[in-house]
Amino acid sequence: MTEDTRPASPAKTRILILDDEPIVCKRLKPAFQKAGYEVETFTDSASALARVEGTRFDIVITDLKMEGVDGMHFLTRVKELSPETGVVVITGFATLDTAKESFRKGAFDFVAKPFKLSDILDTVRRIEDKQRLDKGLRAG
Amino acid sequence: MGKLFSRPGQDRPKQSRSVAMRSLFHNFRLILEHNTDALELMASLERALGGEYIFDRAYLEKSVRDLGLLVQRTVYRLNNLTGDRYVELFDRYQALRTLLDDILADGPDPANLPPVLSFTDIGWETEQAVGAGVACLAELKHRFGLPVQDGFALTAMGVSQLLAQPTCPPELKESLQREAAALRRRCGRACPLAVAVHQIGADDGVREPLALARHLDDLPLVIRIALERHLARAGAGFPEAAALSVSVREAPEPVLCGLVRTLDHTASRRDALSVSVSQPGTPGARAHAKDCAKDCAATGADLGQAAAVERHLVRRSYPFRALRSEILAKPSRFEHPDGGPPLSLLRNGLLRGTALLSSKTLGDLAEACMAVERVLNAPQELGWLLTPRGRLLLTSTRPLARSEQDPQELDELLAGAVPLAHGGNVAQAGVGAGRVVHVRPGDNPEDFPLGAVAVAHVAAPALSPVLRRASALVTEVGTTVGHLATIAREYRVPALFGLHDALTLLPAGSDVTVDATADAQGGAVYQGVLEPLLRLRAFGPELDPGDPEYAMLRRILRLIQPLNLIDPDAADFTPAGCRTFHDLIHFAHEKAVEELAEIHARQPGLSGADARRLRLNVPMDIRVLDIGEGLGEGVAEQAGREIAVEQLECLPLRAFLRGLCSRDAWRTDAASLSAGDVLGGLRKTFELLNDPTGAAGQNLAIVARGYMNLSLRLGYHFSVVDAHLGDNPNQNSIYFRFVGGLADEHRRERRAKLIRIILEGLGFQVVVNQDLVVGKFKVADRPDMEAVLARLGELTAFTRQLDTDLGTDQAVASQAGTFLGLPEQDAASGPMPGPGGKGGGT
């Protein structure tokens, strides 16, 4: 696990990335940081679960197939704790069934590995747009 | 395809023949489909090296599994097609699959490497056997051509063998001495050899040499002593399971040595590269030399303070000018190690100056070190030395700590940058800057300035040599799965393909920064050299050579991607000669085509009703064998043996015939023959007359709607065109082979050269072996493919008896120019790609 030590800025979108393959976290973290996001990465789902129990994230990106708590369970728990959090499921074992189930459980998008960095950045921007819209509707 | 075999009222023997034919073509079509799918998967794996995609180990495992299945099915189908003639292919498949599974399981090096490896045989993929530091030096030396110490390594297995016995096993001793002798042949007979020990898997940068060997006989003993010293130093802290390797490198006596940091902010806030220089044997240099030789712990923080050390800050981009220099005072008669006193006049009209390192050598050193940074995707600290003969050598490299990036700084920088162009597709991620040089047809790649930004119309394979010298590449046309994209990834040169109007938007001579980052849709080119952008973007989320997944992907690709079997007539074109998955599917494809092309000879019971003669307006006899929707509806059922071109539905054949039947392509004048031509031709005529397959003189097109395999004997030339053509550019490809000819050896070779020039002009990747020419054209959209096929048709007619006209090299240039419509000197220098409608992909 790695943590961003800089003080949290309320203006920044907070992203949690969970993938048991370190290479995915290693490469996604600087990409999102460079794009101006505040990022925390986890390679074990138990630690990530403990983190989301106590802290709210705007966006969660999670792998599906992991040791211990799997991605589907993690997705379910995140949505229970914070329904407005946008969740992106990333997986190397994409099937129609898992995609359907992910959407049923509230995932915003389902991305098969390998994927382009630019694609996942676009997905995250779309979540932000939707969250802004939802917020506006609630306020209005 | 069913239509061909569903004619009612046929008698029983015809029905059984129909079933046999259906089975034959079914197997053939499946081989083609598996071949295409396998090539797609291989391209996707190779593309992952470029840094644009996020992938993990699970993806690699799945890809190998899927690819293995496709290869296995291809082998199965070939054996179905040929009556189990190639059962041995299953063994080759199984052997390769086992090696790949070993790699995926992180097992010992699967390639069963020898215990002693020359640097030429070492790459990232052999890292497990020799350690990352040695693999890194060898890659930099031999793959990227950088001035790095040459050498060889004793692998972990070799170290185990050496330490297992009190004396060196004779075979191992012989291997060590053979490699040492070869190394000395490359770097000088008297050159001392430095022996260093590396702990594999640890922070194994290139270590301080522990011993020097001057006599080859002593080498095994010196290596043993170095190993024992290393173990003694490590003491009880040495992990039992840890593996060691040994590097043996050339160690010439230096006249100057020092350290380079490719990104140094200690003396200036500005991004700069720092170089320290000292003269061995002078006061203060000893401490500096110790720092230089020290392993990765060397900090270099006090370099500027050492008594005999000079220091330079240099720009990080071409032409690597010095920003600031701290030069020591010297006596007026001081003789520089590289020759001449300070006031000697240089060729450029300037005085030599008092700095230990001349400005030219400083520039060369900075350029080499920046190339290392680009390859390793991180700022580096490098040791270097200069030999008495002025040879620059890099002796070590280790990554410097990356500084935290501030996204705000990047935003501010980009807000102030002037964009010149946007778009294109990233073939290799990264950022490069320098002066724009337009690469035109006929340009000599060796003239391309080091560190410049290459801008060209087409991403053609002929640009490959330029990539060794360019800091970035931009093209107007091209795709990220072509051959040039592979080369860009190989050299890790930032590359943007398909940037519309790049030649206009990026004027020659202007300074630009090419931003081909992986986290943006497309790329951008900015005005000027934006050094902070180079720093901020170059070390982002791209894949590092140090990542285990990168090394694993490279190791996997080594057993998957290379195509070693090119010439079907070569002695090693056998199942046993298949060394990669690519070899296996290519071999299966060739043999499947051969089986159909010679169906009359090999399966006499199946000959007869199937091949239809094509009615043409040129003097050629082509028969067409439809394997699925290659003929118009109802044509197969029509009576008569002849069909018209209009009745063809086969897209590639129709395009090819457009060129072949063009009136301009056919010559009517008589070709001039020499006595040698006639004598040479007699032998070939005899061979053809004795062709046991009876296929001599037959031209056969095996067709489907989007596929054609055309075997042509035209005069004394034999050519094969194998083309896939559809709406998906990624699946489109042309394979062209040309051999033979009625002429003496020299004229046939000139003819091969002519065809190479023409094919490269059309965008083909070409391999020539004597008078055999093999060209490949991949990934292009339908109009481009049709245009290229039509040109191949013209070429086929054009070269009908051409080799008898190629009496001189000048004639080659002249004929190539005629065909390509180029000025003669451009055609003569050959391979640079030409713009405009003559092939768009690679």
Query: Could you read off the pLDDT of B22-69 as tens digits, one per residue?
Result: 678 788 878 878 887 888 788 788 878 777 788 888 889 999 999 999
Asked if the bond preceding B319 is cis, omega within 30° of 0, the reply is yes
Q: Mutate which of B52, B55, B56, B62 to test chain A, going by most A C-beta atoms within 10 A? A: B56
Q: Which residues 105-134 of B are in CB contact (within 8 Å) with A?
A: none
Question: Which residue did the predictor score with more confidence, B670 or B1?
Answer: B670
What's the CATH superfamily of A14-139?
Response regulator (3.40.50.2300)
**Do the chains contact at B541 and A30, CB–CB below 8 Å?**
yes
Name the band, by pLDDT with cuts 50, 70 and 90, for residue B683.
Answer: very low
State the pairing for strand pair A59-63/B612-615: unpaired
**Cβ neighbours for B202, distance < 8 A, ≥ 6 positions apart:** B242
Q: Which residue of B has its CA nearest to A19?
A: B56
* pLDDT higher than 80, residue B668: no
Burial B342-363 (b: 16+ CB within 10 A, else e): beeeeeeeeebbbbbbbbebbb
Pick from B133-147, B504-518, B530-544, B625-639: least confident? B530-544
* pLDDT higher than 80, residue B408: no
Q: Which residue of A has its CA nearest to B540?
A: A30
pLDDT for the residue numbered B371: 85
Name the band, by pLDDT with cuts 50, 70 and 90, for residue B724.
Answer: confident
**Do the chains contact at A27 and B54, CB–CB below 8 Å?**
yes
CA distance B125 to B123: 5
* pLDDT higher than 80, residue B611: no
* pLDDT higher than 50, residue A96: yes
Do the domains B418-529 and B256-328+352-390 match in fold?
no
Question: Which residue did the predictor score with more confidence, B641 or B249?
Answer: B249
Pick from A59-73, A118-132, B513-527, B668-682: least confident? B668-682
pLDDT for the residue numbered B93: 96
Nearest-Cα distance to chain A for B378, in Å, is 14
Q: How far is CA B105 from CA B4, B102, B785, in A?
A: 49, 5, 42
Pick from B57, B405, B518: CB nearest A117: B518
Q: Residue count of chain B, please give it.
A: 842
Question: Has domain B256-328+352-390 been given CATH number 3.30.470.20?
Answer: yes
Dihedrals φ, ψ of B41, to 5°? -65, -40
pLDDT for the residue numbered B45: 85
**Residue B84 contacts A, CB cutoff 8 Å:** no
* pLDDT higher than 50, residue B99: yes
User: Which residues of chain B have a CB within 8 Å of the CB of A31?
Assistant: 518-519, 540-541
How close are the terminal C-alpha atoms of chain B, in Å?
Answer: 31
User: Which residues of chain A have a CB within 8 Å of the CB of B423?
Assistant: none
pLDDT for the residue numbered B599: 67
At the topology level, CATH places domain B418-529 in Glucose Oxidase; domain 1 (3.50.30)
Pick from A35, A93, A117: CB nearest B54: A117
pLDDT for the residue numbered B442: 72
Pick from B170-184, B407-421, B799-813, B823-837: least confident? B823-837
Report which DSSP code applies to B235.
Answer: G
Which tokens sit at B274? Answer: 């720092």
User: Which residues of chain B have a CB within 8 Å of the CB of A34?
Assistant: 405, 407, 410, 519, 536-537, 540-541
* pLDDT higher than 90, residue B508: yes
User: Which residues of chain B have a CB within 8 Å of the CB of A116?
Assistant: 52-54, 518
Q: Which residues 8-47 of A are in CB contact (within 8 Å) with B?
A: 19, 21, 23-24, 26-31, 33-36
pLDDT for the residue numbered A8: 44
CA distance B480 to B496: 9
Q: How far is CA A123 from CA A86, A132, B659, in A?
A: 10, 14, 47
**Residue A117 contacts B, CB cutoff 8 Å:** yes
pLDDT for the residue numbered B75: 97
pLDDT for the residue numbered A6: 43
Kindly state the average pLDDT of the residues B466-485. 83
CA distance B478 to B841: 5
Mean pLDDT over the full length of chain B: 77
The CB-side HSE value for B136 (13 A sphere, CA atoms) comes to 29
Q: What percent of chain B has pLDDT over 70?
A: 75
With residue B308 as reference, give the H or E element that holds it. Answer: none
**Residue B414 contacts A, CB cutoff 8 Å:** no
Which tokens sit at A138? Answer: 């609630």
pTM given for the model: 0.61
* pLDDT higher than 90, residue B642: no
pLDDT digits (tens, 9 = 90+) for B262-283: 988 777 777 889 999 998 876 5
Nearest-Cα distance to chain B for A87, in Å, is 18
* pLDDT higher than 60, residue B731: yes
**Do the chains contact at A21 and B543, CB–CB below 8 Å?**
no
pLDDT for the residue numbered B692: 35
Report which DSSP code applies to B225.
Answer: H
Which tokens sit at B240? Answer: 């039992």
Question: Which residue did the predictor score with more confidence, B797 or B223?
Answer: B223
Kindly state the average pLDDT of the residues B429-455. 85
**B229-233 long-range CB contacts below 8 Å, 24 or more apart?**
B229/B197, B230/B197
SS3 content of chain B, % helix, strand, coil (to 5): 40, 20, 40
How close are the terminal C-alpha atoms of chain A, in Å?
Answer: 40
pLDDT digits (tens, 9 = 90+) for B773-803: 888 887 677 888 899 999 999 888 877 656 5
Q: What percent of chain A has pLDDT over 70?
A: 91
> Taking Cα atoms as reference points, which of A11, A53, A10, A12 lies closest to residue A33?
A12
CA distance B93 to B98: 9
Pick from A35-49, B559-573, B773-787: least confident? B559-573
* pLDDT higher than 80, residue B520: no
Question: Which residue did the predictor score with more confidence, B816 or B226?
Answer: B226
Kindly state the average pLDDT of the residues B306-325. 82
Mean pLDDT over the full length of chain A: 86
Nearest-Cα distance to chain B for A138, in Å, is 31
* pLDDT higher than 50, residue B694: no
CA distance B564 to B570: 11
CA angle B234, B240, B241 (to 5 degrees): 125
CA distance B256 to B285: 10
Kindly state the average pLDDT of the residues B700-705. 86
* pLDDT higher than 50, residue B711: yes
Name the band, by pLDDT with cuts 50, 70 and 90, for residue B186.
Answer: confident
pLDDT for the residue numbered B439: 92
Indicate the angle between helix axes B219-234 and B170-187, nearest 10 degrees.
100
CA angle B16, B19, B24 (to 5 degrees): 125
What DSSP string runs through B160-191? HHHHHSSS--HHHHHHHHHHHHHHHHHH-TT-
Pick from B52, B407, B408: CB nearest A117: B52
Pick from A30-44, B85-99, B211-225, B415-429: least confident? B211-225
Kindly state the average pLDDT of the residues B75-94. 94
Report which DSSP code applies to B252.
Answer: P
Name the band, by pLDDT with cuts 50, 70 and 90, for residue B545.
Answer: low
Pick from A48-52, A72-76, A130-134, B486-490: least confident? B486-490
Complex confidence, ipTM:
0.81
Question: Which residue did the predictor score with more confidence, B459 or B306?
Answer: B459
Q: Name the burial class of residue B9, with classes exposed (0-12), middle (13-18) and buried (19+) by CB atoms within 10 angstroms of its CB.
A: exposed
Nearest-Cα distance to chain A for B670, in Å, is 58
Kindly state the average pLDDT of the residues B416-429. 88
State the pairing for strand pair B772-778/B765-769: antiparallel
CA distance A47 to A41: 10
Question: Which residue did the predictor score with more confidence, B205 or B661?
Answer: B661
Delimit the domains of chain B by residue range.
150-250, 256-328+352-390, 418-529, 619-829
